[in-house]
Structure 1
Amino acid sequence: MSSDLSTSHAGNGPTTDWQLSRTHTSPQGDIRWDAFGSGPPIVLLHGTPNWSFIWRNVVEHLAPQRRVYVFDWPGFGRSDRFAGQNISWDEQPRRLTELFAHWGLAAPTVVAFDFAPIFALRSHFFEGLDIGALVLADAAVVPPFVTDFSRVARDNMATMRQLPTNIAEGMIAAHLAGTTHRPMAPEVFDGYMAPWRGADGVAAYWRAVAAYDENLAAPLIPRLSRLGVPVRLLWGDHDAWIPPAKAHELAAALAGAQIRFVPDAGHFAPEDNPRSFADEILAFEAELGRDQRE
């Protein structure tokens, strides 16, 4: 899918052909990114252990009306991944500030999924990132939220790193299998697994898990009630990783931000039901009057 022709795919059904054609060089290596469509800007932030692949079908629905920016965080997907790379939850938010400057964006809508809300909120509160509207999707914000598998892996990282590659791949695959409400098609599942295969991929996966730090989410909670940005919560109605009850906890911390549940969707709501996911984003923007084309 090219950045110039992305909208030509709309309506042709889900695609697993996903490439990012552009590069931004950061202090933590090259960041692969792309932009699709035209209109008011929307920035899509993937979480972990996924990558920008999760947005491919959402982009298809947004790009006819919006300029959609996507990228892979350092350490993920097609961006640089290497031993010693700083992909901490304190460092990653700085990459978002850099990218906004690189793109020349002012107050776009930001859709932050999974752990990415921590990065977006830390960028906003501590780096001065200018966000116009914020969608927090299946959001890991209110601790505890790290899954049991990831917590055990993080706390026993030396052991995890000694596992044979094929055993580690099997564990990662079993973990990813629980992200959707319905089983993924084999080619889709392979897309999610692709960055984590082989010795290098497994090593990158464990580096990502080692960075999980709920302590960096905790300082955000008392600040949420003072967040001066319109917020919408978007949640898979069958999210087994971060259950819908967490959406209500987060809404309470945000002084009653509205929640919209994506039907027939698990934690990977953008995968399970991309059209409903995209429609909710556009409806939120329409409510705010942010649906006028530039």
Structure 2
Amino acid sequence: MPDWQLSRTFDSPQGAIRWDRFGSGTPIVLLHGTPNWSFLWRNVVPTLSAQHTVYVFDWPGFGWSDRFAGQNISWDEQARRLPELFTHWGLHAPTVVAFDFAPVFALRAHFFEGLEIGALVLADAAVIPPFVSDFSRLARENIATMRLLPTHIAEAAIAAHLRRTTYHPMPPDVLDGYLAPWRGDDGVAAYWRAVARYDEDLAAPLVPRLGQLTMPVRLLWGAADAWLPLDKAHQLAAAIPGASLRLIPEAGHFSPEDAPDAFAREVLAFP
């Protein structure tokens, strides 16, 4: 597995959050989605950190942050972690790059927790329902059954799900990197806990508020995103005043994985 470690810890109400900081300059905060973790950003960080201070972390319940039974990783609770982290880091209104489901957390933090965001990049963004994939929807609706699957069967299903996220086939070591937190009995249990909290009802109140966004907003989208097709990108762009949409060629849903250099260049060129 490619090496990716986060060296610092923040103690949150939902357990320890692993995080790290790279480079120097004006701050950029990178928010991963699901079923990925901060590993997604490993090839984006070097380009961004040549000009900026870049903050990355794993949400509670993901990656190497704490994961435990009974942990509250609902989407409204995850949104409360951002103001806490910004205070811990001494940040005010940085640029935020939110990928996949993380735009729900960032937007809820902005609208309902008063979080100031200077500029916002929404990447392959799950904001306008419906957006939960068929596999994840089926798993959530049958979560008790999914939890009974033998660990090796569950791992194989998660791996098959992840293979659909990229335009270019993932090398085995990269797939292993994405799968690492979800392996074994504890990892599979953490995966199903995350899926059980997928809740489009917590995204729905954001949709009528999108027109209230006043910071610069850019949408980045993998041109071959099979999970969130381009009509979702156009819907979102139409709902946000002044938002610009940029497509990343030869990139699937995990656009930072397929095309990290192109992704980073788009972030550097914004706002």
Whether the TM-score (by the shorter chain) exceeds 0.5 is yes
**Aligned with residue 237 of structure 1, among 204, 219, 223:** 223
**Aligned with residue 196 of structure 1, among 176, 182, 193:** 182
**Aligned with residue 139 of structure 2, among 153, 165, 179:** 153
Specify the SS of the correspondent of 2:28.
Answer: strand
Any idea what the Cα deviations from partners look like across 1:114-156, whole Å, max 9, x if unmatched? Answer: 0000000000000000100000000000000000000000000
CA–CA separation in structure 1 for the residues paired with 2:9 and 2:230: 36
State the partner residue of 1:35.
21
- After superposition, residues 106-121 of structure 1 pair within 5 angstroms as 106-121=92-107
Specify the SS of the correspondent of 1:284.
Answer: coil
State the partner residue of 1:7.
none
- After superposition, residues 126-141 of structure 1 pair within 5 angstroms as 126-141=112-127
| Shift, 1:16, TM fit | 2.2
CA–CA separation in structure 2 for the residues paired with 1:144 and 1:266: 19
RMSD of aligned residue pairs (Cα, Å): 0.8
> Which residues of structure 2 form unaligned runs of 5+?
none
CA–CA separation in structure 1 for the residues paired with 2:89 and 2:242: 32
2:213–2:241 Cα contact (<8 Å) kept: no
2:21–2:56 Cα contact (<8 Å) kept: yes
Counterpart code for 1:270: P
| Shift, 1:256, TM fit | 4.7
| Shift, 1:255, TM fit | 2.9
Specify the SS of the correspondent of 1:209.
Answer: helix
State the partner residue of 1:75.
61
Specify the SS of the correspondent of 1:112.
Answer: strand
State the partner residue of 1:291.
none
**Aligned with residue 206 of structure 1, among 173, 179, 192:** 192
| Shift, 1:253, TM fit | 1.0
Specify the SS of the correspondent of 2:265.
Answer: helix
> Which residues of structure 1 form unaligned runs of 5+?
1-14, 286-294
CA–CA separation in structure 2 for the residues paired with 1:146 and 1:189: 21
State the partner residue of 2:91.
105
Within the alignment, does 1:65 sit opposite 2:43 as a pair?
A: no
CA–CA separation in structure 1 for the residues paired with 2:23 and 2:171: 27
Any idea what the Cα deviations from partners look like across 1:211-249, whole Å, max 9, x if unmatched? Answer: 100000000001000111110000000000001110000
State the partner residue of 1:266.
252
Task: State, as a whole percentage, how many aligned pairs show the same letter.
Answer: 75
Specify the SS of the correspondent of 2:44.
Answer: helix
CA–CA separation in structure 2 for the residues paired with 1:94 and 1:228: 21
State the partner residue of 1:246.
232
CA–CA separation in structure 2 for the residues paired with 1:29 and 1:57: 27
State the partner residue of 1:8.
none
**Aligned with residue 155 of structure 2, among 165, 169, 174:** 169
Specify the SS of the correspondent of 2:19.
Answer: strand
Counterpart code for 1:169: E
CA–CA separation in structure 1 for the residues paired with 2:104 and 2:189: 23
2:139–2:195 Cα contact (<8 Å) kept: yes
CA–CA separation in structure 2 for the residues paired with 1:257 and 1:119: 19
Any idea what the Cα deviations from partners look like across 1:78-122, whole Å, max 9, x if unmatched? Answer: 000000000000100000110000000011000000000000000
**Aligned with residue 31 of structure 2, among 45, 51, 75:** 45
State the partner residue of 1:10.
none
TM-score (norm 1): 0.91
Deviates more, 1:15-24 or 1:258-267: 15-24
State the partner residue of 1:95.
81
1:16–1:56 Cα contact (<8 Å) kept: no
